[in-house]
Chains A and B, each alone.
Chain A
Amino acid sequence: EAGVAQSPRYKIIEKRQSVAFWCNPISGHATLYWYQQILGQGPKLLIQFQNNGVVDDSQLPKDRFSAERLKGVDSTLKIQPAKLEDSAVYLCASSRVTGSSGNTIYFGEGSWLTVV
C-alpha cells in the first residue's frame, strides 16, 4: 500500500513570496490533515478535512494560509505571503473516517520550508 505522498520535499523562498504544497493521501482514506512542525516542537494541526469538507481549521492563520481538497482526494496548502516564522515542516497525514478515534493517522515525509 502506497503511503502519503507530499511534494515538494524542500523549498526555500523569500519572505512575502508565496508557496504551495501538495499532498496525496493513502487510497481510501477519507480524512486528511495538514500539520505544521516548527523545529524543536511537536506537530500542530492546521486543518482537517473529511472528504472535501473542512472539519477543523481553528488553528489555520487564515490571513495567509489556505487549503483545499476539491475532489476529496488530493489537497493543496498555500501560504501567501510567507513570513520568517512560517519556516517549518508541513506534514500531511491521512486516516480512514473521522468517526472512530482509534483510527491510526499516517504521515507523509513532510515538506520542509525555509523562509529567508
Chain B
Amino acid sequence: AQSVAQPEDQVNVAEGNPLTVKCTYSVSGNPYLFWYVQYPNRGLQFLLKYITGDNLVKGSYGFEAEFNKSQTSFHLKKPSALVSDSALYFCAVRGDTGRRALTFGSGTRLQVQP
C-alpha cells in the first residue's frame, strides 16, 4: 500500500522568509512524487514532480522540492514566501508497480503574513 504523511496542518511564515512544507511517503518500488496547490474554490494545480535524477526539483512559481530517499521525504520549499502563496498544499505519491493512481496526503495550509 502507498501512503503520504503531511505532519503539519498549517504552516505560518512571514512574507520574504523561506518556507518549508513537509511530506513523507511510503510506497512499493520506486517513488514518483508530486506537489499540488489548491486555492479556495479551485481544483488542484500541479507544481512539480520527482521522477528520477537530481534530488532537487524545481517547479512553478519559484517552488522547489528535495527528494531524500533515506528519509523517504519530499519537502516543498521556497526561498522567499509571497502573500499570494497562501493556499492548501498537497503531496502525492505513486509507485512503479501495482496501483498507479496518485495517493494524496491530508494537505497543509500555508499562511503567509504580510
Enumerate chain A interface residues (CB-CB to B < 8 A).
4, 6, 33, 40-45, 48, 55-56, 91, 93, 98, 101-102, 104-110, 112
B104 at the binding interface (Cβ < 8 Å):
yes
Say yes or no: A101 contacts B104, CB within 8 Å: no
Contact B90 A101 (CB under 8 A): no
The contact of B101 among A4, A6, A41, A45, by CB within 8 Å, is A45
Does the CB pair B101–A110 fall under 8 Å? no
When C-beta atoms are compared, the residue in chain A nearest to B99 turns out to be A56
Number of A-B contacts (CB under 8 A): 61
Residues of B within 8 A of A110 (CB): 42-43
With A98-B100, A101-B100, A102-B32 in contact, is A42–B43 under 8 Å at CB?
A: no
With A91-B44, A101-B32, A109-B42 already in contact, the answer to whether A44 and B96 are too (CB < 8 A) is no
Interface residues, chain B, with chain A CB atoms under 8 Å away: 4, 30, 32, 34, 36, 41-46, 49, 51-52, 90, 92, 94-96, 99-107
B16 CB → nearest A CB, Å: 29
Q: Which residues of B contact A42 (CB under 8 A)?
A: 4, 90, 92, 104-107
A108 and B101 contacting across the interface, CB-CB below 8 Å: no
Contacts of B107 in A (CB 8 A): 40-42
Is the beta-carbon distance between A91 and B106 smaller than 8 angstroms? no
A112 to B40, CA, bound (A): 12
Q: How far is the CA of A109 from the CA of B101 in the complex (A)?
A: 19
A46 to B107 Cα, complex, angstroms: 18
